[in-house]
Each structure stands twice: as structure tokens, then as C-alpha cells.
Amino acid sequence: MAKSSAIKDAEALLRSLRSAYTATPTNLKIIDVYILFSLFTGVIQVVYMAIVGSFPFNSFLSGVLSCIGTAVLAVCLRIQVNKENKEFKDLPPERAYADFILSNLVLHLVIMNFLG
Amino acid sequence: MSRAPVILSFLLLAVLGNAFSPENPTDRKILVLLDDLSIKSSHSLYFQSLQTRGFDLDFKLADDPKIALQRYGQYLYDALILFSPTIDSLGGSLNAAAILDFVDSGHDLILAADASASDLIREIATECGVDFDEDQSAMVIDHTSFAVSDTEGDHTLIAGDDFIQSDVILGKEKIEAPVLFKGIGHSVNPANSLVLKVLSASPSAYSANPKSKLSTPPTLTGSAISLVSVVQARNNARVLISGSLSMFSNRFFRSGVQKAGSTINHEKSGNEQFVTEISKWVFHERGHLKAVNVRHHKVGEADEPSIYRINDDLEYSLEIYEWSGTSWEPYVADDVQVQFYMMSPYVLKTMSTDQKGVYYTSFKVPDVYGVFQFKVEYEKLGVTSLSLAKQIPVRPFRHNEYERFITAAFPYYGASFSMMGGFFLFSLVYLYHK
């Protein structure tokens, strides 16, 4: 009985989360998809390294770090463009996006150098 | 005027001829120091065998005031035979230190002691790593392997047949008859790895005064007693130390021998063969090696590089020749090893040989960079030691020598580029949605 009530609680929690998430603006949802994509790619590489071995270790590091870096930069963008976040209310979203582009360019430059 | 070039070319020829003449490690000129000139005739067979082999013997009395080993810093002799067991002080400027300097500068020495050997002879022997019995009147006595003679005697005439197992020192031909020995025994300093016992006493031998009753146990007993020893110094100087001068005498050369307890009566003792063979070794007619033509190069190339890269495949070869007394013959062995050495050997390989003196091997340079050495340290019983070292640096890969586009790394490349593509797509979608 206790178990079924726990499952019921979890289901209720998920339902409330989903209904709350539908209220999220579309631009933030796009960022979320992007973050999930990069994290998923990173996890695949870690699994691959565990199977094949760490031989071109620099390639592995740059591959995984490009995923993590992308995810981190996207999270930063999401924090800055979120309307409900009062801390950045003075920062225009255009400025946040420009920062995001610049950081990404630097990140990928470094990754390209370290990859091969 | 036209003569100058002719003279010059003759000079050049002389220099070239000199340069191309093969080096000859055999000793040529030998100083023989005797107690008494009668030894010259009583040991004439031995001296004759040396002279017929081309040695120039210079006989002197050991207390002759005119004897000198060197003049103006140049040694006058290649080797020294000390057949003067009772001499207390040598003539001229010669003393124990001068004789040891002679050996230290790479010259050879044959030293024969006898019962009542003097302190000088004992001192030289001690410096060579051999300790004669301290009792002045002691001789080696053996009641089981003495040489049978008409009179019963005191069993100090020993028939020794416990030889060192070395073809290099004693020659290929086996010494069948025992060697007659009458004299004092010595022990070999265990800390000295350069001394070898060539003729050991039998387990029943001991060293004591044969004329007096044995009241205390003898200090030297059994096969720890060495009758004849040799030393090959680190500079390849060779020293022979014998406790018996009469071992070299005509009387012992000619005498027959029958070992006690054995029915075989040898017509002739083994002394002549033993002493002749061992003097061939001492005077570098045998067992003297030289290594030439040390070469190394990358596999598939002929030129010697000034530097190797890690993981290069290389080939190393050298030629080893042995002096046969008249010419350099190819040295054949299967235990010559080369080391690729930096603080410790990273590679240690036994080299193959073509049986004509050439030794070769190939190996991969280790995955470590630094200053390495090709080292050949060849030390074998009896032969002169070879010690070659050639320095060679090993560098890491240059940055453009690393492998590009490794197959195993393709997922990582794909991930990085998909992140870039994802970034581009994300920008489009993010900017143009709605």
C-alpha cells in the first residue's frame, strides 16, 4: 500500500512539473533541448572511452570538454535571458546572446587546437 | 727541386704503411731476472720455447745494479719474468712499487716463488691478490696425490691435475699428464675477482713445514690452496704467479710422472705443455680481443645518424677479432651482448654472428628520450675484456610526426564538430523562432 502511494506521489509530482514547464517561454525550451543534446553527446563519449580505452586522450578530453563547455555556456545564456531572473533584469537579451556567441567562438577555437 | 715531392711521397708512404700495419699485442722483449745464472741452463727448455716463439729474452741477475725497466719514461721491456724467489732487494732502481707500476701500465709478469721466498716476492704477490703461506719454511704436502718416486720422500713433490676449465688459458689440447709441483702454496684473496686459480691443490693437501712435526693445524688446507694462479688486470695486463720455480725446470719437464694411487705411468710430465700454454696466454698470444667497425644505423638506411627518434628501428653491428699470435682471427662466440643504456640498460640483446667475426642485432629504440649509449661490456674467463661505449641522443617525436586522424578518435572528432553544427543550428532556431 505504501509503495503504490509513493508511485502515486511521484506521478503527481511529475504531472505538476510538466504543467509548470509548459508555461516556460519557448526560447528557454529551445535552450533546454540544446543543453540536453550536448550532455547526451558527452555521455556517449565517456561510455565509448570506457569501452575502447583512453588512447588519444587529448581527443577524448577535447570531445567531452566541448560538450560540457557548450552545455555550461547554454546554461549561462538561459540564466541571463530568463525574464523571471531579477538579477539580470538590466541586461538586454541581445547583449547576453552576443556574450554567448563570443564565448562559443573561443571555446571551439581551443577545442580545434586540442583535438588532433 | 724535383726531389722534394719524391721524398714527400716516400714519407707519406712510410706514414701510411705504419698506420695500416696491424697492431700486435704480443709481447716482444722480455726481461728475465734470475737469482743465479745457473737457472738459465737448468731452465733452458722453457727459455728456448719462448725464444723459438720469437721472444727476445734479456737475462739479468736480480741484484745487477744496472737493471732498469724504463728509461726516459719509456718502458724498455714488454714483460718481466721474475725467477728470483730469494732476492731481498732488486738491483738498480727496481723495487716492488716499480714492478707494480710496470704491471699497472699494461705489461705482463711471470713470478715464480719457492720455499723460503723473500718478503719482496711475497709483497709483489700480495699486491696482485695472492697470499703465500706466511710460514717461511712451509711447503705444500699431499699424502694422497704426490708423485711416486723411488724414495719415499716427504710427499712435497705433488702431481697436480686440478686445472681450471678454460680453453683460452690452457689451450684447446687437454693436458693428460699431471703437473709436477714442489714449492709453496698460496691462497687467493676472495675479494679480488681478477685472480683465477689455474692449478689447485687436491682436497688432501696442506701447507706446513715438512721437516718438523705438525703441532698446530695448518692454516692453508685442501683445494683452497692454489699452486698456480693468474691475474688479468682491468687494463688487460696479465700476471702469472707460481709457488714453484722448479715447475719450469728442465728436470721436471723431462721427468716422468706417476700419481700416487694411479697405475698410469706417464713418460713425460705435463709441465712443459702446461707452462708453455699458460705462457702463451700471459704473453697475449691467445685470448686477446679487439673490437672494430662499430656501426649503427636505422633499418633500411646505411648512414649513421647523429640522433635517433623514439621508436626508431635500428641495426647495430661490430666486428670482434682475436689475436692468434701471428694474425687477427675472427672471434666466434654466442654470448656477446649490446646494451642501449641510460643510467640502466633499456635494451639488452645478445647479438647474432656470421662466424666471421661480425656481430649484429637490431632493436627498437625505447619510448624514452634522452642521451643513451650503445654499450658492449664483454668479460669472459681468460679473454681480455672489451668495453665499448658510444653515445647517441634520442629525441621525442616532432609535433608534426605524431599520428593524424586516429581511427579510435573519430567519435571525439564527430562530437566536437556536431557541437559546432549544433551551435550553428541553435543560433538559427533561437534567433528565428516565432
Give the class (CATH, top level) of B289-395.
mainly beta
| Cα–Cα distance measured from residue B391 to residue B308, given in angstroms and rounded to the nearest whole number | 11
Residues on chain A touching B405 (C-beta within 8 angstroms)? 116
Share of chain B above pLDDT 70, in %: 94
pLDDT in tens, A10-36: 999 999 999 999 988 999 999 999 999
- List phi, psi (to 5°) of B130: -130, 130
Residues on chain A touching B416 (C-beta within 8 angstroms)? 62-63, 66, 108, 111-112, 115
pTM to 2 decimals?
0.73
Q: Can you tell me the mean pLDDT for B246-262?
A: 89
pLDDT in tens, A60-84: 999 999 999 999 999 999 999 998 8
**Cell for B415?**
562530437
Q: Can you tell me the mean pLDDT for B332-344?
A: 93
Q: Give residue A89's pLDDT.
A: 87
| Cα–Cα distance measured from residue B83 to residue B31, given in angstroms and rounded to the nearest whole number | 10
Q: Give residue B303's pLDDT.
A: 93
Residue B230 has pLDDT above 50, yes or no: yes
Residue B14 has pLDDT above 70, yes or no: no
Residues on chain A touching B420 (C-beta within 8 angstroms)? 108
pLDDT in tens, B290-326: 999 999 999 999 999 999 999 999 999 999 999 888 8
Looking at the DSSP bridge assignments, the partners of residue B352 are B360
DSSP annotation of B82:
E
Q: Can you tell me the mean pLDDT for B330-339?
A: 93
Contact B416, B425 (CB under 8 A): no
Q: Give residue B263's pLDDT.
A: 82
Contact: A41, B419; criterion CB under 8 Å:
yes
Q: Give residue B264's pLDDT.
A: 84
Provide the pLDDT confidence category of residue B30 given band limits of 50, 70 and 90.
Answer: very high
Q: Give residue A4's pLDDT.
A: 84
Distances (CA, A) of B200 to B159, B223, B230, B265, B318: 11, 6, 12, 21, 37
Q: How many residues does chain A have?
A: 116
Q: Is B419 on the interface with A (CB under 8 A)?
A: yes
Q: Look over chain B and give the mean of its residue pLDDT values, rounded to a whole number.
A: 88
Residues on chain B touching A48 (C-beta within 8 angstroms)? 411
- List phi, psi (to 5°) of B345: -70, 120
Q: Give residue B148's pLDDT.
A: 84
- List phi, psi (to 5°) of B38: -65, -25
Contact: A56, B408; criterion CB under 8 Å:
yes
Contact: A59, B412; criterion CB under 8 Å:
yes
CATH architecture, domain defined by B23-282: 3-Layer(aba) Sandwich (3.40)
Sign of CA dihedral B31, B36, B38, B43: negative
Contact: B415, A44; criterion CB under 8 Å:
yes
3-class SS of residue A101: helix
DSSP-H helix ranges across B161-215: 167-170
Residue B13 has pLDDT above 60, yes or no: no
Q: Give residue A116's pLDDT.
A: 77
By Cβ distance, the residue of B406, B411, B415 closest to A66 is: B415
Within 74-93 of B, beta carbons closer than 8 Å to A belong to none
pLDDT in tens, B48-86: 999 999 899 999 999 888 888 988 888 999 999 999 998
By Cβ distance, the residue of B406, B416, B431 closest to A66 is: B416
Residue B26 has pLDDT above 80, yes or no: no
Pairing of β B79-83 and β B179-181: unpaired
For chain B, the first-to-last Cα distance in angstroms comes to: 109
For chain A, the domains span 26-115
| Cα–Cα distance measured from residue B356 to residue B198, given in angstroms and rounded to the nearest whole number | 30
Q: Is A59 on the interface with B (CB under 8 A)?
A: yes
CA A42 to chain centre: 11
pLDDT in tens, B107-126: 999 999 988 889 999 999 99
**B316: nearest Cα among B248, B255, B246, B372:** B372
Contact B415, A67 (CB under 8 A): yes
Q: Regarding predicted confidence, which is higher, A91 or B6?
A: A91
Contact B124, B155 (CB under 8 A): no
- List phi, psi (to 5°) of B401: -100, -5
For chain B, the domains span 23-282, 289-395, 404-434
Residue B434 has pLDDT above 80, yes or no: no
CB atoms within 10 A of CB B72: 5
Residue B254 has pLDDT above 60, yes or no: yes
pLDDT in tens, B373-414: 999 999 998 899 999 999 999 999 998 888 888 899 999 999
Residue B18 has pLDDT above 80, yes or no: no
Q: Is A50 on the interface with B (CB under 8 A)?
A: no
CB pairs under 8 A between A and B: 77
Contact B69, B31 (CB under 8 A): yes
